[in-house]
Amino acid sequence: MLNVMKSDFLAARYLTYQALSATFPESGLYTDTLDYAVYGIVPSMLSLAQRACIDVLDKIAAATTDYFCIPGNVRVVYFWSRWFDDPKRGQPLAWHPSLRPHIHNGNTALIALAEISLDMGEEGFLVRKKAFRHASTHRFTVLHDLGCHPSRQSSQIEHCRLTEFKAQLIESLQLGRAALIYFVEMVSIAENAHRTRPEKSLPISVPTHHYIRGEDDPKISGSARRSRARRQVGG
């Protein structure tokens, strides 16, 4: 799971870098909507990168669900609601029962992830990032390089200045990176809490995915890569 989350984040970061620094040949023509909106590969890459950043957060919630064996429907697990119990009318916000013991044991990284989710609430300062993700996933995000006045109002379109969207995207990358670090720390704290007494331990060397596949040395042939992989797994 961590490999997938890490690669998704790096893909979003690479998309952002390319969109902000490279020039792409356009293979399509777009109708001018007379409102200084920009269309093409670059704005779409920016929108995809923003979406991928926030999607990593939902994956963190899913990985947390699996790690802590949190019961419930796995198809409705979201980052902004994973950490707390279903709120009841008039009752204060409460930790999810499956996570409460880990909070009491001092898992500060778990608390940090929960605080991020609160910042993405309706009145949180990160809510704009979630709104852009929802708009580009379920509706439309249209960027403008001059002004931000649509030619026709529509509830299905989220309009934004290009400069603001770029700034939001950079912050979303920073947010995704921080959340991944918190997730790793959360697991580390939980694992250490399982140790009730000092035990003898030996280090274990786990080779990287790239080493097993020979991708760290471009001179290695495909057959040699497969042979290396078989040796590592004892085949």
Residue with tokens 């997938």: 4
pLDDT of amino acid 62 = 96
Residue 117 contacts residue 81 (beta carbons within 8 Å): yes
- CA distance to 32, 35, 110, 193, 195, per residue, from 189 (Å): 54, 52, 9, 6, 10
Amino acid at 132: F
Token duo for residue 11 = 């893909």
The β-bridge partners of 158 are: 141
CB atoms inside a 10 Å sphere around CB 98: 15
Has residue 120 got a pLDDT over 90? Answer: no
Mean pLDDT of the chain: 87
pLDDT band, residue 126 (cuts 50/70/90)? confident
Alpha helices in the chain (DSSP H): 2-21, 41-67, 100-104, 108-119, 127-138, 162-193, 209-212, 222-233
Q: Is the dihedral of CA 179, 185, 190, 191 positive or negative?
A: positive
Lowest mean pLDDT among 77-86, 117-126, 200-209, 212-221: 212-221
- Per the model's pLDDT, the better-predicted residue between 59 and 91 turns out to be 59
Q: What is the pLDDT of residues 15-50, one digit of tens each?
A: 999 999 988 888 889 998 888 999 999 999 999 999
pLDDT tens by residue, 175-214: 999 999 999 999 999 988 877 666 777 778 888 888 887 7
Residue 230 has pLDDT above 70, yes or no: no
The confidence score (pLDDT) of residue 86 equals: 80
By C-alpha distance, which of 11, 22, 46 is closest to 160? 46
Q: CA geometry: angle at 99 spanning 94 and 103, to 5°?
A: 80
pLDDT category, 93, cuts 50, 70, 90? Answer: confident
Q: With pLDDT > 90 as the criterion, what percentage of the chain qualifies?
A: 54
pTM for the full predicted model:
0.83
Q: Report which of residues 178 and 135 the model is more confident about.
A: 178
Q: And the tokens for 45?
A: 């890459």
By the 8 A CB rule, do 47 and 166 touch?
Answer: no
Q: Minimal CA–CA distance to 56: which of 6, 3, 105?
A: 6
Q: Which two tokens stand for residue 78?
A: 């979201």
How far is it, in rounded angstroms, from Cα 228 to Cα 220? 10
